[in-house]
Amino acid sequence: MKALVHTCCAPCLIYPLEVLNQEGFNPEAYFYNPNIYPEEEFARRKAAFLDFAKTQQVKTHVAEYNATEYHYAVTEKERPGRCVSCWDMRLLKTAEFAKEHLFTHFTTALLVSPYQDIEAIKTIGEKIAAGHNLQFLYRDFRQGFRQAHKRARELGIYCQKYCGCKCSLEERMAKI
């Protein structure tokens, strides 16, 4: 079965890829992240994603960087509203791509992060899947987060220090 995995970054793809392969899926990875700020950070994450996917022989799909999409979709600056709008935008685009390219299932590597609200992501994914006649593969991948990031560091894969958006970068910088 073909499954499309929305991918936010290479480290977060490691564990979901392993699980989906074990479950008998043929996963392909979709990098759609107009939320990432600045554009140089987007390029760095995209390069790390492509390099890792190549080592794993995973077919990749990359949407062009378009920060305007993010700014139109996300009007709230505060969490959780900002995050919910962002997840909705990215999962909707992933489902549209999946439908157009004849995938039957989709999921997201966001489900690996202990910093994300996976119940909200599950709700969004299932709602979007129903509207596109797809299956949302909800998995709580969080148990693999630490080991995947450890492996990423061992492999020299770039590990970012913030979610991706300008607001999350500013929040991180305020804590330093």
Residue-averaged pLDDT of the chain:
95
The pLDDT of residue 159: 95
Go through the chain and tell me how many residues it has.
Answer: 176
Q: 10 Å Cβ neighbour count for 53? A: 20
Cβ-based neighbours of 103, under 8 Å, separated by 6 or more: 2, 3, 4, 28, 97, 134
What CA–CA distance (Å, rounded) separates 13 from 17?
6
What CA–CA distance (Å, rounded) separates 167 from 150?
26
Which pLDDT band holds residue 86 (cuts at 50, 70, 90)? very high
What CA–CA distance (Å, rounded) separates 62 from 170?
26
The pLDDT of residue 3: 98
Task: Quote the pTM value.
Answer: 0.95
Flag the least confident range among 32-36, 41-45, 72-76, 156-160: 72-76
pLDDT tens digits, one per residue of 14-69: 999 999 999 999 999 999 999 999 999 999 999 999 999 999 999 999 999 999 99
- Residue 121 reports pLDDT greater than 90: yes
Which pLDDT band holds residue 76 (cuts at 50, 70, 90)? confident
What CA–CA distance (Å, rounded) separates 45 from 43?
6
* CA distance readout (Å), 31 to 53, 62, 71, 172: 11, 5, 18, 23
- Walk me through the domains of the chain, giving residue ranges and CATH numbers: 2-175 (3.40.50.620)
Residue 97 has which token pair?
């791509």
The pLDDT of residue 17: 98
- Residue 77 reports pLDDT greater than 80: no
Which pLDDT band holds residue 167 (cuts at 50, 70, 90)? confident
What single letter denotes the amino acid at residue 82? R
C-alpha torsion 28→165→111→64, nearest 10: -10
